[in-house]
Structure 1
Amino acid sequence: MSKSSDPHHFFQTSHSLAETSRKALKSKNRHGSPIRLHSKILAVISHPADEGAVYVAESAGTARRVVLQVGEITFTPVNTHVVPKLSNRKTGESSHIYHGPTTPLTSLALSTTSGNDSIFAGSWDKSIWSWNRTTRAPQRRYRGHSDFVKALLCIRVNGADVLISGSADASIILWDIGTGVKLHTLKGGHTRGILDLAVDPTTYPSSPLSEHEGSSITLFSAGSDREIRRWCISDDLSTADEIETDKPVLQHETSVYRLHFDADGDLWTASADGSVKCLSRERGWQADTTLVHGDYVRAVAVDERGGWVVSAGRDEDVKVWDKASGKLHHTFSGHFEEITGMLLTGQTVVTVSIDATIRQWSLEAEDLGKATREAEEARNGVEQEQEEKGAQKMMTDDEERELAELMGSDGE
C-alpha cells in the first residue's frame, strides 16, 4: 500500500488549515529580499574579515557561507599564504558548503585569530564539528556532551585558542581548539539546558583579533531554567568557577534565548516570556528597560549608530524599538515561520528563519523612514476600508429598520 506525506491527505483542524493557508500566501512576499535555502535555518553568524557574507547552520546538517551582496569578497591572509579572492559572486550564492553532520546544526562559532581560521558547528548528535573556513577541509570533531550542543563561543587567552560550548545537558565545556582536550567542565549551576553564551566585554577585548591580557574573563550563560549565570575563567585557564553560585540573575519568567552586550556594557536579553530586557551593570544586572515583543523572542541586537534595539522571534516579525524611549518604532514583516537568528552588519539587520530564508532589513535613516511611511499608509488604507464597510453596513441596517416600520404601519 502506498503512503502519502501530503498534509491535505490527513485530518487537520480548521485552525491548522487556516494557518497553512496563511503561510502559503505569505511565503510569496519579497520583503527583505529573501535568499532561499533548502532547509530550515537555525543559526547565523558573520566574520569580521568577510564583509558581504554570512554563515548559517541548517537543519539538514549543513553549514554554509552565503553571499549577501554582489561584489568582490576578499579573505584576509591565513597563516603565511593569502587565499585567492572570491570574485564574480552573486547575491544568495552559497560559495562555501561544509558537509559532514547528518543531524540538525543548532549553533555556529568562528575563530577570528590570525593563527586559526576555523568554523565550528554544534549538532544534535552531541558533538561539535569543525572545518577550515576557507578550504572547507574537515578538522577536529569535539565529543563530550551528553545532549544537543546549543551554544558556541571562541576566545583566545595567552596564545591559546579556546572553544566554549553549552549543551542541553546543562553543562559548559572549555576545549583547547588545537588539541581537542577538555580544559574544564562547568556544571552544577544551571538545572536545565544552556541556550546562549556571552563574554563580558569589560573582561575581554572588544576586538575579536585582540589578545586577552586581563587577570580573568567573565562568561555569562543563559538557559531554559530562566537563569543567567556568571563564571570566572582565570587568565591561565587553570581554574573556572561560577561567580556567586547562590545568586543567579533572575529577570525573566522562563527560558532566556539570547544574551547581547551593548556599547555601554549593559546586557540585553531575549526570552520566551515575550520580552526583551536591558540589564543594567550599574544596578547589579537588574532590568531598567523592558520591551514587550509579544511572543517568544529568539534574538536581540542593538544598533548603536541609529539608537535602535531590534527584536525577533516566533511571531515572524522584526521589531525596531527606540533605545532611549523604549517605544516601538516600526515592524518589518516578511518571514512566514519563526525567526531563529539575527545579526547586524553595519546598519543592516540580517534574519534567518525556519522558513529557510535569509532576509535583510535596512536601519539607515532614509530606508527606515520610507518603510515607516509605507506601513502607516497601508494601515490608514485598511482603516479607511473598514470604516467604509462599517458605514455601508450601518446604512443597510437603517434601511432595513425603516422598511420594517413601514411594513408594520401598512398592516395596521
Structure 2
Amino acid sequence: MSRSSHRDDFFQTTASLEESNRKASKSRNTNGNPIKLQSKILAVAADPVNSGSIYVAESAGTVRRVILETGEISAVFKGPTAPLTSVCFSPDGKLVFAGCWDKTVWSWDVTSRQPKQKYQGHTDFVKSVICARLAGQDVLISGGADAEIIVFSVSTGERLHVLKGHARGIQDLAIDPASLDLDSSKLVLFSAGSDREIRRFDIPPGAGDLSTTEPLTEHETSVYKLFFDADADLWTASADKTAKCLVRENGWKADLALEHPDFVRDVVVHEQGGWVITACRDEEVRVWNKATGELFHTFSGHFEEVTGLLLLGSTVVSVSIDATIRQWSLKPDELRRAKEESEKKKSPSEEDGEPKVESMLTEEEERELAELMNDDD
C-alpha cells in the first residue's frame, strides 16, 4: 500500500491535510483574473491619480502600486521589516502612509518612493490610518491595537490629539462625510473597535479638548470595517458574522443585517447598481440587494480569507491573504452572466434540494485510493 513520504505529513491531522490539499487545488483557479503578489495582502486603496492602479499593503512590509489591466508592479515602497496593515494618502496625493506592526506609521514620497517622516506614539500595532484636511492643515489619524487614536500634524509629526474611549484595539477609522460638508472647522471621526463599539469623536483644529458620544453597540463582537454610503448612512462589517446598515436618521440603529457563515471583513456599496458587496473569512465575495438584503451572487476564487474590497467604477477589487488581487464586474450583463454560470455548475441534486450521495469510503481510505491512482508503479 502506498504511503505518504512527505515529512511534514506526519505532523498534521487528517483535517489539516485535507484543508491544505483543498486550498492547493483551489489556488489554481483563474476566477477574477488573479494577480499574484509575493506575500499576504492586508489592505488596499485606490490610486489617487490613476484609476487603473491600486496600492496594496503587504505582510512583507512593502506597499506596492499595481496596474490592474496588466498586473504590472509599477512602484514599490520599502523600509518596514514588519507587516503593513493599512494604507492611505495625503489630500494632495503626494504622500502615501502605511500603518505598521512596528507601532509606527510610515510615509513615502509617491514620486520618488523615498521614505519620509515616521509618526510615532502608539504602544502596539497600528491597525488603521486615514488622512484629511482640517482648517487648512493636513492631519494623519491612526488607530492602534493599544486602543488609542492619535491625530498627527502631517507636516511636523506633532501629536495634536490622543483620543481614548475604546477598551480594546481599534480596527478601522472613517470620517463622517456630513462633517466635511457642514463644518470645515472640525472633523467627525467614527472608529470601530475589537470591543464591539463604534465611537464618534469631534476633532477640532490644533490641540485641545475633544468630545465623544456614547458608543454604538449594534454588533455582538469586533467591528472590522466602516463604510459611509451616498446617503451618509454607515455600513459595518463584524466578527459576529453580519454586515449591517446603521441609519443616520434613526439614531444609527441598524435597519438591515446581512447574515454570513463566518466573520465579515469588509463592506462597500455600489450605488448605481443598488448592491452591497461584502468580503468574508470564508474566502467569498458576496453581492447583496441593497434594498431587500437578499443575496444575489457569490464570487468564488480566493482560497484564503478576503481582507479588503475596493470599488472602482463598476469593478470590485478584492485582496486576500492568499496574496492575490482579483477583479469582479458589477456591470449588469456581466454580473447576470456570472450568476448564470455559477448556477449551471451546481449539480441537479443540489438545485433540487436533494442530499448529495456520500462516499462509502473513510477519509483515510479515500486519500490512500487517490495515492494509489496516482502511483506510477
**CA offsets per residue over residues 251-270 of structure 1, 9 Å max, x none?**
00100000000000100000
1:112 CA displacement: 2.8
Counterpart of 1:164 (choices 141, 145, 165) is: 141
User: Which residue of 118, 125, 130 maps to 1:148?
Assistant: 125
Q: CA deviation at 1:231?
A: 0.2
- Cα distance in 2, alignment partners of residues 313 and 252 from structure 1: 16
CA contact (8 A) 2:171 2:194 kept: yes
| 2:95 counterpart (111, 118, 124) | 118
Matched, 1:309 2:276: yes
Shift of 1:13: 1.1
Q: Give distance in 1, aligned partners of 2:168 and 2:281.
A: 21
Contact (CA 8 Å) 2:134, 2:185: kept in 1 or not? no
In 2, the alpha carbon distance for the partners of 1:118 and 1:303 equals 28
Q: Distance in 2 between the 1:389 and 1:110 partners?
A: 50
Matches within 5 A, 1:10-409: 10-69=10-69, 91-113=70-92, 117-187=94-164, 189-205=165-181, 214-234=184-204, 236-239=205-208, 241-244=210-213, 247-381=214-348, 383=350
Q: Deviations over 1:26-58 (max 9, x none)?
A: 000000000000100000001332210100011
TM-score (norm 2): 0.90
Displacement after TM superposition at 1:299 (Å): 0.4
Q: Secondary structure at the match of 2:178?
A: coil
| Closer, same or farther: CA 10–177 of 1 in aligned 2, 3 Å | farther
Identity of aligned residues (%): 57
Helix, strand or coil: the match of 1:66? strand
Q: Secondary structure at the match of 2:249?
A: coil
Aligned equivalents of 2:255 and 2:356: distance in 1? Answer: 44
Q: Kindly indicate whether the alpha-carbon contact (under 8 Å) linking 2:263 and 2:281 is maintained by their aligned counterparts in 1.
A: yes
The Cα of 1:387 is off from its aligned counterpart by: 6.7
What residue ranges of structure 1 are gaps of 5+ in the alignment? 1-5, 70-90, 206-211, 394-412
Cα distance between partner residues in 2 of 1:300 and 1:218 = 20
CA deviations on 1:165-201 (whole Å, 9 max, x unpaired) are 00000000000000111111112x1000000000111
Q: Deviations over 1:114-153 (max 9, x none)?
A: xx61000111100111001122011001111000000000
TM-score normalised by the chain length of structure 1: 0.82
Task: Give the direction of change, closer, same or farther, for the CA distance of 1:372–1:241 in structure 2 (3 Å limit).
Answer: same
For the residue of structure 2 that corresponds to 1:282, the secondary structure is: helix
Deviation at residue 158 of structure 1 after TM alignment: 1.9
| Whole-Å separation in 1 of the counterparts to 2:100 and 2:280 | 21
Aligned match of 1:403: none
- Find the aligned partners of 1:290 and 1:27 in 2 and give their Cα distance: 31
How far, CA to CA, are the matches of 2:10 and 2:209 in structure 1? 53
Give me the CA root mean square deviation.
Answer: 1.9
| Paired letter, 1:200 | D
